[in-house]
A and B are shown apart, each in its own frame.
Chain A
Amino acid sequence: MSFDMNIKFFWIATFSYLGAMVFYLSYLAFRSKSVATVATGLTYFGFLAHTIAIGLRWWESYQMGQDIGHIPVSNLFESMSFGAWTIILIYILVELKYKNKSFGAFVMPVAFLALAYIGVAPNISKDIEPLVPALKSYWLHIHVITSFLGYAAFAISFGVSLMYLIINTDEKDAVYGFWTTCVGLIIVVLVAIGVDAVLLGKAGSGKHMLEGTFRNEAPFVRIISYIGSVAVLAACWLSGMRIKERLMSFANTSEMLDEVGYKTIAIGFPLLTVGIITGAVWANAAWGTYWGWDPKETWSLITWLMYAAYLHARFTRGWRGKRAAILSMVGFLAVIFTYLGVNLLLSGLHSYGAAD
């Protein structure tokens, strides 16, 4: 008996999000109400499939054995899928509350990227795996759920802060350079992962991420990739003002964006705090040390310090507006690094095994 129904629903969700992303972007371009309705519909449909995928995976893990069953947040595939799910959940709530569909074009790529990445990356296993002893704890649920809801809130704040910067651009200054670079890099990563998805889907023999582009065997492809990236960044720099005009026409006032950017952090910060504390309680139950300066712990603290700085900076004159928006975006980079960078780059430092 195979337990991969959840993967089928996972792919349905991924492609729905891809569709939603395309329609949200078209909505920005053509401003058609019906296009926006289709985008929202695809988002709901994808979210439903995604919810079923996660629920099925949970159920299937118990079908594999009572001692194997566990909440599906225990490995990279499961946690990224859950992370994308929380981003969509919070996005849906924000869209309902603010009745504004222009954020979607900024949020949907993040969710789609996350799912596409774990869907095609050859070194990420999609199998349901039994838990290592250290993860067998009730704290797993509350720790992971609060942390991810926090991350998702920060992701929304990142997108909204980016919009805030775009709208408040008057000239091609340093801030303009910052946000056009961000937009350019997001596009480059998106395209590179798309190329991987197409290539790996056909060959199925890839070994690394970005093998289709930046890490391709052929030097020619690598050079093309870098030239292409520079071209994308240059195009963003050149067309930034037009992107601004587009966004301005969606009745996004800068006060509203500033407020959403702040409120999402006001929701994310307590969640991150609870996430760190439950992690400490758990570490104390597992190892007898509530804080050990492990890189994962330290990076979560770095993230917490950045958002604490953001919250205090907002009380200080001269630190509101653009600077606060940049701080929110840099804070989200810390979130991404806490979540992915520590595991992928600071290799071997974060292992959960209690004994070998």
Chain B
Amino acid sequence: MEERKEGQESQAPAKGGGGIFKAVWDFFTSLKLTVTLLLILALVSVLGTVIDQTDPNKNMQMLVDMFGPASAPGVLDFLVKTGLTNMYHSWWFVGLLSLLSTNIAICTLDRFPRVWHMVTRAQGPLTEETLKTLGMKREIRVKGGLDGFREKAKAAIRSAGYSPREASEGGAVHYFAEKGKYSRLGVYITHTSVLVIFVGALIGSFWGYKGYVQIIENGSISAVELINKPLLRDVGKEMPLGFRVRCDKFELKLYEGSRMPSNYLSTLTVIDGEKEVMNKTIRVNDPLEYKSVRFYQSSYGVMPEMATMVIRVTPKDGGMNIRDYNVKKDEKVKIEGTDLYMEISQMAPDVVMGPENKLIAQSDQFKGSGAAFMNFYDGKGNMVDQAMVFNLDPQSQPRNVPYAFTIMNYNGPYYTGLQVTYDPGVWVVWTGCFLMVFGILVAFFAYHKRVWVRIKEGEKGQLIVTVAGGANKNRHVFEKEFERMMEKLGA
């Protein structure tokens, strides 16, 4: 098949002095190692998609199902220790990638010089040695003069799309041409691209960072909270930006007549020094970039410290004096017509009842089931009662106060949540990706083909014409091309 020849090239003896060096060199130039490493990497990656990699404790339920509650903690401990819960950063996964990189690098060093020589040397006239290695060869005898046949030979080679060169050697006239010799580099471009991508990823993890920041409308920030652990930075909580970013406006757009979000938009202004240097409305898939730091629309919500709950106060005695109050966090609000004050010390707009009657906060969007921890005071400021008010549980009401409380709404100033990244390696990665696609296309679809026509004068005014050629891939296509060339030569 097409690739056999390349395969044989790779079987050629390795360089190196011998002994241990040669053994190591042979080990790393072996194609079996490549296949094995690729398959092992595929297999262990499967584990990483089954075992949760974000939080080790999320695996507990699965382990309890598999091993029972008694052994599960031990198994989890084992998984954590072997790095299986943070697999892609574990020493052995990185080790496998290093082995693959070494494999690629040494294979390239081993084979590239020969291929480079093949690509750069000029094609010479047909020798008996070359003739032996070629896939296609014919010998025909033609009557007539040498000069007439010369033009015919050139025309035949040209008709196949080559530009022939001419030489006289060994009592014969030679015409020869080749095409696509650089395609032999495709496979090396592809292999190098993998290393380039790895280098880009390493640059990113050493010198880049990822952070997150919330900016309230009309507020501004000059530092972000780091959410990964950059290798060459202090694993501090804050990462100063060196400039300020202000959020002028946050907007949640809904599809018409629906509650489905159509987009999230934040209008941001960058202030460097005292000057406003940039203004952009970012949305999902369209970040802002300033000094290589990129700000992505990631989330939004209500600022909890500045939120307000709408509380409906209903007299327990069935009286009709029902009223709604806006209550800010930690602010005492007087209930009209009484000497009683209410205060909310904790707010949770969206909670569900979990196991053992624990309340679990879901989101910061009020959907009917909010909870508030409320304190009640008399006119002198003495606390008269405390209660956790939860809409879904009618029992959760203060006992010493003649009113019932219902959470009607939750709102407040919005913040925009931005993912912030700085990755100096990303362009290296894109370069690698481009090289990879280019290299693969060249390696698969371009090929190196060569043809020769050698004309010797034989006895009785006959010409002995040797036509030969070879291609490193796509032999079927080449064979047809070769046959057409033979026809033009009058064979």
Query: A interface vs B, CB < 8 Å?
Result: 65, 67-68, 130, 132-134, 136-137, 139, 258-259, 262, 266, 269-270, 273-274, 277, 280-282, 284-291, 293, 295, 298-299, 301-302, 305-306, 308-309, 312-317, 319-320, 334, 342, 346, 349, 354-356
The chain A residue sitting closest to B362, CB to CB, is A356
Query: When the two chains form their complex, are residues A286 and B35 in contact, meaning their CB atoms are under 8 A apart?
Result: no
A65-B256, A312-B34, A316-B35 known; A273-B436 Cβ under 8 A: yes
B298:A281 contact, CB within 8 angstroms: no
Minimum CB–CB distance for B265 against chain A, Å: 10
1/0 contact string of B433-448 vs chain A (CB within 8 Å): 1001100110011000
**Can you list 21 A-B contacts with CB-CB less than 8 angstroms, sorted by A residue number?**
A133-B285, A270-B441, A270-B444, A281-B430, A286-B296, A287-B298, A288-B296, A291-B201, A302-B46, A305-B38, A309-B42, A314-B3, A315-B10, A317-B7, A319-B35, A320-B1, A349-B49, A354-B297, A354-B298, A354-B299, A355-B297
Chain B residue contacts of A355, Cβ below 8 A: 261, 264, 297-300, 417
B239 CB, min distance to chain A CBs, angstroms? 14
Establish whether residues B1 and A262, one from each chain, have CB atoms under 8 Å apart when the complex forms: yes
B410 to chain A, nearest CB (A): 15
Docked CA distance A286–B433 (Å): 18
Tell me whether A133 and B421 are in contact (CB under 8 A).
no
The winner among A136, A258, A280, A290 for most chain B CB atoms within 10 A is A290
Q: A287 contacts which chain B residues (CB < 8 A)? A: 296, 298, 419
B264 touches A270 (CB 8 A): no
Q: Does B114 contact A (CB under 8 A)?
A: no
Task: Check if B437 sits within 8 Å of A309, measured CB to CB.
Answer: no
Q: Are A316 and B285 in contact (CB under 8 A)?
A: no
In the complex, are the beta carbons of B283 and A133 less than 8 A apart? yes
Q: List A contacts of B46 (CB < 8 A).
A: 302
CA of A309 to CA of B440 in the docked complex: distance in angstroms?
Answer: 14
Q: Which partner residue on chain B sits nearest A314 by CB separation?
A: B3
Q: A315-B3, A354-B299 are in contact. Are A274 and B437 (CB under 8 A)?
A: yes
Nearest CB in chain B to that of A356: its residue: B363
Is B263 in the interface zone, CB < 8 Å from A?
A: yes
Bound CA–CA A305/B445 (angstroms)? 20
Interface size on B, residues (CB 8 A): 58
**Are A312 and B31 neighbours in the complex by a CB distance under 8 Å?**
yes
Whether A293 contacts B35 in the complex (CB less than 8 A), given A286-B284, A315-B3, A354-B297, comes out as no
Residue contact A132 to B49, C-beta cutoff 8 Å: no
B426 interfacial contact with A, CB 8 Å? yes
Chain A: minimal CB distance from B225 (Å): 14
Q: How far is the CA of A315 from the CA of B472 in the complex (A)?
A: 13
7 A-B pairs with the lowest CB-CB distances in the bound complex, closest first: A288-B421, A309-B38, A133-B284, A305-B42, A315-B7, A355-B299, A295-B49
Q: Return the contact of A67 from the options B35, B45, B255, B417 (Cβ within 8 A).
A: B255
A68, A287, A299: which has the most chain B beta carbons within 10 Å?
A: A287
Q: What separation, in Å, do the CA atoms of A136 and B34 have in the docked complex?
A: 39
Q: How far is the CA of A223 from the CA of B6 in the complex (A)?
A: 54
- Does B400 have its Cβ within 8 Å of any Cβ on chain A? no
Q: Nearest CB to that of B438 among chain A residues? A: A270
Give the distance to chain B from A87, nearest Cβ to Cβ, in Å: 21
Is the CB–CB distance between A130 and B258 below 8 Å?
A: yes
**Pick the contact of B35 from A130, A277, A309 — CB < 8 Å?**
A309
Inside 8 A of A298's CB, which chain B residues have their CB?
Answer: 45, 48-49
When each residue 23-65 of chain B gets 1 if its CB lies under 8 Å from chain A and 0 otherwise, what string results?
0000000011011001101100110111001000000000000
Question: Which residue of the partner chain B has the closest CB to A267?
Answer: B444
Contact with A along B259-285 (1 / 0, CB 8 A): 011111000000000000000000111
Residue-wise, chain B 450-465 has the 8 Å CB interface mask toward A (1 for contact) of 0000000000000000
Contact check, B260 vs A130: say whether CB atoms are below 8 A apart.
yes
Which residues from B are CB-within-8-Å of A281? 430, 433
Least CB distance from A254 to B in Å reads 12
Chain A residues near B31: list those with CB within 8 A: 312, 315-316
Report yes or no: A270 in contact with B437, Cβ–Cβ below 8 A: yes
Q: How far is the CA of A288 from the CA of B422 in the complex (A)?
A: 9
CB contacts (< 8 Å) of B258 on chain A: these are: 130
Q: Say if the beta carbon of B164 comes within 8 Å of chain A.
A: no
Question: Which residues in B have their C-beta under 8 angstroms from that of A295?
Answer: 49
Partner of A132, one of B256, B261, B297: B261
A70–B1 alpha-carbon span in the complex (Å)? 44
Q: State how many angstroms separate the Cβ of A99 from the closest Cβ of chain B.
A: 15
CB atoms of B441 and A342 under 8 A apart: no
Nearest residue (CB) in A for B444 is: A266
For residue B34, which residues in chain A have a CB less than 8 angstroms away from its CB? Answer: 309, 312
Task: Name the one of A259, A273, A285, A293 contacting B440, with C-beta atoms under 8 angstroms.
Answer: A273
Bound CA span A29–B293, Å: 65
CA distance A299 to B53 in the complex (A): 14
B287 at the interface (CB under 8 A from A): yes
A312 touches B440 (CB 8 A): no
- B298 in contact with A305 (CB, 8 Å): no
B41 contact from A305, A315, A346, Cβ within 8 A = A305
**Distance, CA A269 to CA B39, complexed state (A):** 16
Instruction: Decide: A288 and B35 in contact? CB cutoff 8 A.
Output: no
Residues of B within 8 A of A274 (CB): 437
Determine the residue in chain A with the shortest Cβ distance to B283: A133
